[in-house]
Amino acid sequence: MSGRDPDRRRALLDAADRVIMTEGPAVSMAAIAAEAGITKPILYRHFGDKHGLYQALADRHVRTVIAQLRPELAATGADLRGRARAAIGVYLDLIAANLNLYRFLFHRAGAEDSRVRSHMTALVRSLGEELGGMLAAERVVPDPTRAQVLGHAFVGMVQTTGDWWLDHPEVGRDQVVEGLVDVIATALTPRTATAARAAGHGRAPTRTTRVPPPGNPR
């Protein structure tokens, strides 16, 4: 809320982070307040309500993830596979190291509060738009519309695959990274004319031979 001490607000979010990471995504608001040394009503007063606390945590962590991905995506002098590999690796490492926070935000908070879910969706969508703009600006994908489609597709694919991977610790991190990189590299491979037609531009017109009327010599 406006007018609140930003240092105090930051300290409360730090307390929320600590108890969520310790107790897991099902942690109670009372436990978060106790970790901060205050009562639940006072906790809510600093953020407006539970929605405000959820949104503040989402802003803090989703924006942090995006900020750490940007340098990897925009690295100059690196080939696309290398950049994709680095960015995906950073993302998987971040969510694995902050598993309870990730599940609190994307599973619990998003399920409990549609406003928070919409807010996080908007943050993730902004990264897709940014990636699409980068693909178009670098002429990796010259068509701006196709660049946006691929930008959002890549971000969504990595997010949902990462969510699946967290539930399958038996699958190696590098195996997931390389699988995703292969899909991205294939999608960015220049399409041939034949592939373009197969993707929706229609078949090439077939040539027809004119048959003369009966009795007329050719």
> What is the percent of the chain where pLDDT is above 90?
63
Answer for the pair 120, 110: CB distance below 8 angstroms, yes or no.
yes
- The DSSP secondary-structure symbol of 1 reads -
Give the pTM.
0.81
* Domain boundaries of the chain, sorted by first residue: 1-48, 58-188
- C-alpha 124/C-alpha 131 separation (Å) is 11
- The one-letter amino acid at 17: D
Name the strand (E) or helix (H) holding 77: none
Name the strand (E) or helix (H) holding 185: helix 173-188
Over residues 105-157, the pLDDT tens digits come to 999 988 888 888 898 899 899 999 999 999 999 999 999 999 999 999 999 99
Over residues 47-56, the pLDDT tens digits come to 888 889 999 9
Over residues 58-84, the pLDDT tens digits come to 999 988 999 999 999 888 667 889 999
Arithmetic mean of pLDDT, 31-46: 92
**Residue 192 has what pLDDT?**
52
pLDDT at residue 100 greater than cutoff 90: yes
CATH number attached to the domain at 58-188:
1.10.357.10
Which of residues 197 and 119 earns the better pLDDT score?
119
**Radius of gyration (Cα) for the chain, nearest Å?**
25
Q: What angle do CA 151, 58, 171 make, to 5 degrees?
A: 60
**Residue 3 has what pLDDT?**
46
Answer for the pair 151, 88: CB distance below 8 angstroms, yes or no.
no
Where residue 172 falls (left for φ over 0; alpha for ψ -120 to 50; beta otherwise) is beta
Average pLDDT, the chain: 86
Sign of CA dihedral 120, 179, 129, 197: negative
Domain 1-48 fold is: Arc Repressor Mutant, subunit A (1.10.10)
